[in-house]
Amino acid sequence: MPTATAGEMTVAVPGQEEEFEVEMDLPCPSHGIRRLGTIMRVVFVNPDCTPEPSPLDELIATYEARLAQADGELAHDPEKS
């Protein structure tokens, strides 16, 4: 299960997409978006060494887009920081 507080690390494991999504959707009472810290993405590979597709890829991309948007909003509104 992914766990983290601001500034730490979150482990994203295939097969635990729901847990990751819950973590990324939890709001931070101080900053709005919850910062998951460094995301360590576990990847399973096929016998031919290609990565096994996972819904985590899309979830991580969604989280990173939200984070970039939140950071952009903070940069334009210093009162929110």
pLDDT in tens, the chain (81 residues): 444 445 589 999 999 999 999 999 998 888 788 889 999 999 999 999 999 999 999 999 999 999 999 888 776 665 654
Do residues 39 and 4 touch, judged by C-beta distance below 8 A? no
Domains in the chain: boundaries: 14-71
Q: Is the pTM of this model over 0.95?
A: no
Burial of 19 (0-12, 13-18, 19+ CB in 10 A): middle
Q: How far apart are CA 78 and CA 31, in angstroms?
A: 12
Give the other-Cβ count within 10 Å of 10's Cβ: 22
